[in-house]
Structure 1
Amino acid sequence: MVKKITILCIVLILTYSCKQESKKVEDSNISADFATVLDYYYEDGLKLNPINATMAGDHRYNNQFVNLLSDDYVSKIKSHYEKYKGELDAFSDEDLSDSEQMTKAILTWECNMHLAELKFNANLTPIDQMWSPNLFMGQLASGSSAQPFNTVEDYQKWMKRVDGYVEWMNSAEERMREGMEKGHVLPKSLIVKVLPQLQSLTDRDLEKHLFYQPIKSFPNDFTDEEKSALEEAYKDMIIQKIVPAYERLYTFMSKEYMEAGRESSGIQGEPDGDAYYAHQIKKYTTTNMTAAEIHELGLNEVARIRSEMEKIKMQVGFEGDLKAFFDYVRSNKELMPFAEPQQVIENFNAIYERMKPQIEKLFDVKPKTPFEVRRTESFREKSASAEYNPGSLDGTRPGIFYVPIPDVATYNTYSDESLFLHEAIPGHHYQISLTQENDDLPKFRKTLWYSGYGEGWALYSESLGEELGLYTDPYQLFGMLGAEMHRAVRLVVDTGLHSKGWTREEAIQYSLDNEAESEASIISEIERYMANPGQALSYKIGQLKIRELRKKAENTLGDNFDVRQFHNQVLETGCIPLALLEDKINNWIKAKS
């Protein structure tokens, strides 16, 4: 009897073992199949947008510029997202790991949002003063950005990419003409800002032309014959292709398009404006908040931050109301100490040196990707904000913090510490570089961007200044509050412009009444919001969510709370919708409790 039972047990054990092994193989196959889908999604995405490949440091497509405005491209992009949405549906969550489930949720979100956006007519306003491809191509053309100019082949690839770009410029005019017929046009106040950007590239003086800059900085190993051939080719490219294309576009936009330009300021002035704005809110905040809810939140945040600003005003002994203090800070010559643009760059580098000793108290994981501060290129800095351009995936190209310095004599330093924390370290540089360096993430997630998360993290980073040894000067602390106020004001003015019928002038005045930015800067900012509805909402929404999660973790974990671990939890997944971040942190808190 014992022997029979033993044999039966062996049979049962072997049967169970075989089932387990079979399940492991099945799970392995599912994971392999899922990983394959993700790889194909990423590779197909690079083919659809070769510029993204260049930005990631993948140079296979450096000779291509896809015409994003063509009907053929729109059809391809629609098929792309429909295809991968369908393929994701074939994978049950029960068969995927926690990490794979998150990836599936993210990619499903991506597909749904892009497909929804195709229902609108964003292609009919393809050029603005702030965000459009012509501005980014100018950066690449300078020879000091992501497009490499290290070999003769690199120079030749750029010329082929320019051919595609010229085709896009022609299509841009066609789409804008279509927009004129259907009521989708830029406000006149934005068209005015685009014109000098276009006109600056109609100059036939090669030495001054942006697209000729790579010829002025050949690598040392080029032969005289190679240099001569490329000089001739670039001269022909600029005179025969680039200049005529910019001249045509400038003539069209300065005359016919200007005449057709909208008098209204917000997206409500276009057909389906309300529906499009609702989509943009969801896209940029990754929440289901309404414009009305965000407007009210903004008003409350403005009131809260004003009370904090009053304390700084009293601390420095300023007599007068807060608006007068704004004017004082804006015009205080002691806060405008520089005579040369390089001094601005050096000041940011000095800020970094001051905070370095404290960084390890907040972060035990730091990126390997190098980092630089550079001045924004002259052709766009009058309309540009400070910004961060990511390094390459392999870390060979540094992350770059671009600083516009259109007039160094009026450059005000009062917010430089918070600006560095936001755009550079530990803001965008840490968040983006750590994501790109994380080999546990599928490739498409390494270059994914959600403003609610990415800009939310950067604004949250500004609040870390005191912990990092900064904000010892009350004006720099006021600068941090000013930067936070700037984002709170955005909640009010962006929703005001696009959902409440506010004019450009009303939005400018509200900003002047509630923040210390210069009038010129505020005008540029308001026009930025006009050009890209909803994007400006993402900063404060994301920051408040990360703050909320940190406070919850601190309160729940008490002495077991480690801010470095919290930051690791927030950063290790890369950009994700805020609801997924909240689930992740809640699960971490539960596991640590």
Structure 2
Amino acid sequence: MIKKMLAMACLAIVFTACKKEVTTNNTADEVNISARFNEMLDNYYEEGLQLNPVQATFTGDNRFNDQFPNPLADETVAKVKGYYTKYKQELEQFDDATLSDSEKMTKAILKWECDMNLEGFRFKQDYFPIDQMWSINLVAGQLASGASAQPFKTVEDYNNWLKRLEGYLAWMVSAEEKMKEGMQQGYVLPKSLILKVIPQLEALTVEDLDKHLFYNPVKSFPEGFSEEDKKQLTDAYGKMVSEKIIPAYKSLHTFMSTEYLKAGRESSGISDVPNGADFYNYQIKLYTTTNMTADQIHELGLAEVARISSEMETIKEQVGYKGDLKSFFDHVRNKKELMPFTEPQQVIDNFNAIHDRMKPQIEKLFDVKPKTPFEVRRTEAFREKSASAEYNPGSLDGTRPGIFYTPIPDVTKYNTYSDESLFLHEAIPGHHYQISLTQESTELPKFRKTLWYSGYGEGWALYSESLGKELGLYTDPYQYFGMLGAEMHRAIRLVVDTGLHAKGWTREQAIQYSLDNEAESEAGITSEIERYMANPGQALSYKIGQLKIRELRAKAEAALGDKFDIRQFHNEVLETGCVPLALLEDKINNWIAASK
């Protein structure tokens, strides 16, 4: 007590003299802690690239373009586990009280990353290495085409891909081995998904090199290559494709089309594999970044389907259609005026025209725009039949554009009614703005520039669809119906994904529910349902995230009144990049409080 009184007296007497020294010491400590924290983040990012060199290539970091560590190998799995365990422990050395608000958010995000990735190892996901939409072989096909992230500009680039292919070939062998193990343990894909994978593999068994996707890079060398280099590379690629790639695909195709297909399960949901119910709960948390249950999400989905159906009825009446809503879906699906194209390029041109129409309005909603260029491209032929429209990010340095891929398997049946909402979602201001602004940020640590949380990222993209009228679109009632259809599509996902994986629904039940409630074609709906079967929970993220962002916007508008600035709200949502939804809500609440 005396010591405490003496200390207080000292502080009172010499406070002015001591203040500068104390402040200096505190500042020095804070700088030291911040420096150590940032060094840890840099190390986490760098080690992450080395563990996932393909991801490094997609970000535009070309140091590891010749590497493909096999993610199914025990050695790789052990390294990845060790990586997340190590950084989870290092995080504990930093007390929140010593960190800035930005650093606290980064710490919370990194802890989430470590916890969720380590928890994921509880489940036998390696028994499902291949499916029709999400798996590594499809990424490899994109890279092999010569038109994706893998560069083919120098002789070294061409040789790097040959070396990387050796690692990919090892993965193909491991994939077959893992599926055989899975068959013995009760982990096998539904038959309907296997039937979609088989033709994808078969397409890469073609022996005519000029028709083989993996031979593409040597069919169009850059200028400046010597004839000697061209011949050496052409021979090397011919040998790689004919002696290694084609046999590997033949082996995998034979296995999947015979014994694996025979073992394929008749059930549709993940709950029918060992520990499937727990895995689905994990997937819900992973993709929505919430603690919602399957039952809560299912009920929310039913309510949203009912709400959107009511809005659809209004549009049906506006265009003068006299039948019921279900027959109106058929009317929209089959309306010849909505299928005007004869050449695939016309589809691309239409998306570019949508972009031109909205350009004059974009600054009313966004005062910060990405520098990364943007393109619309047709989805590659080898995966087009089972692909959805999608966005591939540009490189971190902006030298490779962001690309909106759209599948056009049959241009004469291509229906335009949802093109405006699709462009808003996949392109601008959806994924292209959200991802590019994150990558271009000078404030975020490197690892946060390439993070992806579906609840936030897909939530933002679906929220972007609702901005169409503010951006000068949706003047045609069919295009507005397309937006409602797209939102309905995501609401239906809440019902059918939980139905498939938690409530025992069959594939056919899920398809019929979708046909009853939206205007998508049966072929498109079937591909979608099978997509949800292949990756349980992912489809939930869109609507959960959109509803949260809309809720936060409404809250800010009500709280701030005339002070509410939509551009600033969008800046607040976008500037911190992908974050779990709870952290986004905390951030917006703090912004509202500070803006009052």
Fold agreement, TM-score > 0.5: yes
- Specify which of 309, 312, 321 is matched with residue 309 of structure 1: 312
| Counterpart in the other structure of 2:381 | 378
- Give 1:9 shift: 8.7
What is the 5 A alignment of 1:59-70? 59-70=62-73
Structure 2 counterpart of 1:185: 188
Correspondent of 2:549 among 536, 546, 564: 546
Specify which of 484, 487, 508 is matched with residue 484 of structure 1. 487
Other-structure match for 1:394: 397
Code of the residue aligned with 1:294 in structure 2: it is I
Q: Does 1:48 align with 2:54?
A: no
Q: 2:584 aligns with which of 542, 559, 581?
A: 581
Match of 1:3 in 2: none
Which residue number in structure 2 is paired with residue 122 of structure 1? 125
Q: Which digits, 9 at most, give the CA deviation of each residue in 1:217-260, with x for residues without a partner?
A: 10011011110110000000001110010000000011110111
Query: 1:163 maps to which residue?
Result: 166
Partner in structure 1 of residue 5 of structure 2: none
Amino acid at match of 1:557: L
Three-state SS of the structure 2 residue aligned to 1:255 is helix
Deviation, 1:74, is 1.1
Q: For 1:172-194, what per-residue CA distance to the aligned partner results, in whole angstroms no more than 9, with x for missing partners?
A: 00100110011010000000000
CA distance in 1 between counterparts of 2:276 and 2:15 reads: 66
Which secondary structure state, in structure 1, belongs to the residue aligned with residue 358 of structure 2? helix
Which residue pairs with 1:92 in the alignment?
A: 95
CA–CA distance in structure 1, aligned partners of residues 551 and 23 of structure 2: 42
1:379 is paired with a residue of what secondary structure? helix
- Which letter maps to 2:366? F
Counterpart of 2:440 in structure 1 is 437
- Structure 1 equivalent of residue 113 of structure 2: 110
Please name the residue that 1:567 is paired with: 570
* Aligned match for 1:204, one of 191, 204, 207: 207
Output the CA distance in 1 between the equivalents of 2:35 and 2:310: 55
Question: Which secondary structure state, in structure 2, belongs to the residue aligned with residue 65 of structure 1?
Answer: coil
Query: Which residue in the other structure is 2:359 paired with?
Result: 356
1:289-337: CA deviations, max 9, x gaps? 0000000000000000000000000000001100000001001111000
- Amino acid corresponding to residue 91 of structure 2 in structure 1: L
RMSD: 1.0
Cα separation, 1, equivalents of 2:11 and 2:233: 82
Show the counterpart of 1:264: 267
| 2:47 counterpart of 1:57 | no
User: Hey, what does 1:501 align to over in structure 2?
Assistant: 504
Give the distance between the partners of 1:84 and 1:14, measured in 2 at CA.
Answer: 41
Shift, 1:8, TM fit:
10
- 1:81-107 deviation per Cα after TM superposition (whole angstroms, max 9, x unaligned): 000000000000000000000000000
Residue 12 of structure 1, CA deviation: 3.7
2:221 aligned partner: 218
Relative to the length of structure 1, the TM-score reads 0.98
Per-residue deviation, 1:15: 2.1
Determine helix, strand or coil for the equivalent of 1:162.
helix
1:447-490 CA-to-partner distances (Å, cap 9, x unmatched) read 00000000000000000000000000000000000000000000
- Are residues 1:347 and 2:350 paired? yes
Corresponding residue SS for 2:421:
helix
Please name the residue that 2:4 is paired with: none
Q: CA-to-partner distance for each residue in 1:58-86, whole Å, 9 max, x for gaps?
A: 00000011100011111111111000000
CA distance in 2, matches of 1:105, 1:8: 37
Find the counterpart in structure 1 of residue 478 from structure 2: 475
Q: Residues of 2 paired with 1:56 and 1:74: CA distance?
A: 23
Identity value in percent:
73
Aligned mates of 2:240, 2:594 — CA distance in 1:
61
Mapped to 2, the partners of 1:182 and 1:8 lie a distance apart of 70
Counterpart selection for 1:248 from 247, 251, 266? 251
- Taking a change above 3 Å as real, the CA distance of residues 226 and 23 of structure 1, as seen in their structure-2 partners, is same
> How far is the alpha carbon of 1:366 from its aligned partner?
0.1
- 1:165, 1:9 → 2: CA distance? 70
Opposite residue 521 of structure 1, the aligned amino acid is G
**SS of residue in 1 equivalent to 2:375:** strand
The letter for the 2-side match of 1:197 is Q
Using the TM superposition, give the Cα deviation of residue 14 of structure 1 relative to its aligned residue in structure 2, in angstroms: 3.0
Instruction: Return the offset for 1:31.
Output: 0.2
Q: For residue 198 of structure 1, report the CA deviation from its aligned partner.
A: 0.3
Q: Deviations 1:108-159 (Å, cap 9, x if unpaired)?
A: 0000000000000000010000000000110000000000000000000000
In structure 1, distance between residues paired with 2:249 and 2:439? 36
What is the aligned length? 587
Any idea what the Cα deviations from partners look like across 1:569-593, whole Å, max 9, x if unmatched? Answer: 0000000000000000000001111
Which string of whole-angstrom CA distances, capped at 9 and with x for unpartnered residues, describes residues 495-522 of structure 1?
A: 0000000000000000000000000000
The one-letter code of the counterpart of 2:433 is Y
Q: Partner residue of 2:463?
A: 460
Question: Which residue among 430, 434, 442 is the counterpart of 1:427?
Answer: 430
Unaligned ranges ≥5, structure 2: 1-9
Q: Identify which of 525, 531, 540 aligns with 1:528.
A: 531
Tell me which amino acid in the other structure corresponds to 2:97: E
Provide the C-alpha distance between the structure 2 equivalents of 1:75 and 1:119, rounded to a whole number of angstroms.
Answer: 13
Q: CA deviation at 1:439?
A: 1.1
CA distance in structure 2 between the aligned counterparts of 1:370 and 1:179, rounded to whole angstroms: 43
Matched, 1:35 2:50: no
Query: Which residue in the other structure is 1:77 paired with?
Result: 80
Match of 1:373, SS?
Answer: strand
Is 1:449 matched with 2:452?
A: yes
Question: Partner residue of 1:25?
Answer: 28
Seen in structure 2, the aligned counterparts of structure 1 residues 68 and 8 have a Cα distance that, compared at 3 Å, is: closer
1:404 aligns with 2:412: no
Selected match of 1:556 from 551, 559, 570: 559
